[in-house]
């Protein structure tokens, strides 16, 4: 066989192999179209996380993550109540999103490199800056995580929490025995019952747990050490970039609204009367920013009117469980939240 013929044959085979691979790759589902067709956003949330996602006395979910879902529904469907909430465990959450059983996952989930590069998921932003901590009984007289050498520690499996726990004890040359329990309620019950010396989770989750203790909250102490960075936010399937854009800019719209002084009480009036160019773009009076995402130009007005700005969400859901805003303030008030220009 001549060299040119052989090269041509190899090239042809490569093209055929590439074409076969391309055919095997299924196009990402159009999540926005599916949401509109069913008239409902399907949102995966925590089973029971006061401040983030918990059913009230009427069975309606409340919390920061819940409001994030409602804001996305308001942007896409014009109605923030058109959401079906699907509670899931730490083990169930990623398979449910990967399979399409839920449209979006918003459940105290940490944005990490491995989750984006290995699971086919992508995080659209951060709705809460958190960090991992430890809780102990006050009667233990433990005042620092460095005193936990040899302790039993309650932890949920399949989480960054479990990995951070191992890293922290290894780094500090300490020993521990994990008590691994999947269900949040069961792990909390085990801690209360004394099956473990310490309970580790995101500091917000520990504060949330303590806030639910009506008679013995003072018996539990959060230790001062924060051993990790835990940026929490909504995750969607990688490749469906229109839906990704909507979720990302929904988050940014709520942050930008707080910075612009827009809230659920004044958004309608300001939208009609403002001469501020930034606000005119925000409310859709100038530009076609909404239509660029396949939405109405008043998409951001719908979000703020129905759900509120980021500060309103925080005050409604997180402040009552005793967590100060701290790093969750806006960038111009000493915090980390910052929205790129909406223009």
pTM score, whole prediction: 0.83
11 has pLDDT over 70: no
Burial of 165 (C-beta count, 10 Å sphere; 0-12/13-18/19+): buried
Please state which of the ranges 19-28, 235-244, 266-275 shows the lowest mean pLDDT: 19-28
pLDDT at 322: 83
Residue 243 to residues 75, 155, 325, 332, Cα–Cα distance (Å): 11, 33, 29, 29
89 has pLDDT over 70: yes
What is d(CA 186, CA 234) in angstroms, rounded to the nearest whole number?
A: 25
Strands 198-202 and 151-155: parallel
Alpha helices, H only, 179-332: 184-192, 203-211, 241-260, 267-273, 277-283, 299-306, 310-317
Residue 119 to residues 66, 94, 96, 235, 245, Cα–Cα distance (Å): 23, 8, 12, 11, 19
pLDDT at 5: 42
14 has pLDDT over 60: no
The 10s digit of each residue's pLDDT in 297-321 is 999 999 999 999 999 999 999 999 8
Residue 1 to residues 4, 10, 22, Cα–Cα distance (Å): 8, 12, 30
CA R_g for the chain? 23
DSSP classification of residue 172: T
Phi, psi of 328 (to 5 degrees): -90, 10
Position 95 confidence tier, pLDDT thresholds 50, 70, 90:
very high
Tokens 């995101």, located at residue = 202
Position 28 confidence tier, pLDDT thresholds 50, 70, 90:
low
Burial of 105 (C-beta count, 10 Å sphere; 0-12/13-18/19+): buried
7 has pLDDT over 90: no
What is d(CA 174, CA 146) in angstroms, rounded to the nearest whole number?
A: 8
103 has pLDDT over 60: yes
């Amino acid at each position: 066989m001549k060299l040119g013929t052989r090269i041509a044959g190899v090239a042809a085979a490569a093209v055929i192999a590439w074409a076969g691979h391309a055919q095997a790759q299924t196009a990402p589902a159009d999540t926005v179209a599916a949401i509109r067709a069913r008239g409902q956003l399907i949102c995966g949330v925590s089973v029971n996380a006061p401040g983030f996602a918990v059913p009230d006395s009427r069975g309606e979910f409340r919390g920061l993550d819940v409001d994030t879902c409602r804001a996305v529904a308001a942007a896409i469907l014009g109605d923030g109540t058109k959401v079906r909430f699907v509670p899931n465990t730490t083990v169930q959450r990623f398979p449910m999103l990967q399979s399409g059983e839920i449209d979006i996952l918003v459940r105290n989930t940490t944005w990490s490199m491995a989750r984006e590069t290995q699971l086919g998921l992508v995080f659209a932003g951060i709705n809460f800056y958190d960090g991992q901590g430890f809780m102990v009984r006050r009667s233990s007289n433990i005042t620092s995580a460095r005193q936990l050498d040899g302790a039993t520690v309650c932890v949920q499996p399949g989480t960054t929490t479990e990995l951070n726990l191992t890293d922290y004890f290894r780094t500090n040359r300490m020993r521990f025995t994990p008590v691994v329990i999947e269900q949040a309620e069961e792990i909390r019950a085990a801690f209360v019952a004394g099956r473990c010396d310490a309970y580790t989770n995101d500091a917000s989750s520990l504060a949330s747990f303590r806030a639910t203790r009506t008679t013995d909250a003072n018996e539990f102490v959060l230790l001062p050490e924060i051993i990790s960075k835990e940026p929490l936010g909504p995750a969607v399937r990688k490749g469906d970039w229109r839906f990704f854009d909507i979720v990302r800019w929904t988050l940014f719209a709520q942050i930008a609204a707080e910075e612009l002084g827009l809230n659920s009480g004044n958004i309608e009036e300001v939208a009609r009367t403002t001469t501020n160019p930034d606000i005119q773009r925000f409310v859709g009076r100038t530009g076609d920013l909404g239509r660029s995402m396949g939405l109405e130009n008043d998409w951001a007005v719908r979000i703020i009117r129905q759900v509120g700005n980021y500060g309103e969400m925080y005050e409604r859901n997180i402040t009552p469980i005793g967590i100060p805003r701290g790093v969750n303030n806006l960038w111009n008030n000493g915090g980390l939240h910052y929205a790129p220009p909406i223009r």
